[in-house]
Amino acid sequence: MAKKKSAFSSGHRLCAGCPVPIFTKMLTRVTDYDVVVGSATGCLEVGSSIFPYSAWNVPWIHTAFENAAATMSGVEAMAKVQSKKDKTPKRIKCVAIGGDGGTYDIGIQALSGAMERGHDLLYICYDNGAYMNTGIQRSGATPLGAATTTTPVGKVTSGKQQHRKDLSRIMVAHHVEYVAQASIHNPIDLSNKIKKGIELNGPAFLNILSPCIPGWRILPDMAVESASLAVETCFWPLYEVEGSSYTINYKPKQKKPVTNWLFTQGRFRHLKDPKWAHLIDEFQSRIDEQWDWLLTQEKGP
User: Distance between CA 162 and CA 144 in Å, rounded?
Assistant: 5
Domain interval for residue 152: 20-299
Q: Pseudo-torsion of CA 134, 137, 139, 145, nearest 10°?
A: 150
Q: Judge whether 96 lies within some domain.
A: yes
pLDDT of res. 301? 54
pTM: 0.96
Residue-wise pLDDT tens digits, 199-257: 999 999 999 999 999 999 999 999 999 999 999 999 999 999 998 899 999 999 999 99
Confirm whether 106 is domain-assigned.
yes
CA–CA dist 207, 202 (Å, integer): 17
First vs last C-alpha separation in the chain = 38
Q: Is 84 inside a domain boundary?
A: yes
* CATH number for the domain harbouring residue 229: 3.40.50.970
Query: Mind listing the pLDDT tens digit for each residue in 125-174?
Result: 999 999 999 999 999 999 999 999 999 999 899 999 999 999 999 999 99
How many structural domains comprise the chain?
1
Is residue 7 in a domain? no
User: Is 40 within a domain?
Assistant: yes
Q: How far apart are CA 29 and CA 7, in angstroms?
A: 8
CB atoms within 10 A of CB 48: 24
* pLDDT score of 176: 97
* Per-residue pLDDT reduced to its tens digit, 248-293: 999 999 999 999 999 999 999 999 999 999 999 999 999 999 999 9
Residue 12 lies in a domain: no
Q: Measured between alpha carbons, how far is 98 from 91 in angstroms, rounded to an integer?
A: 23
Residue 83 forms part of a structural domain: yes
In a domain, 47, yes or no: yes
pLDDT per position as a tens digit, 18-63: 999 999 999 999 999 999 999 999 999 999 998 899 999 999 999 9
Q: Which residue type does 151 have?
A: T
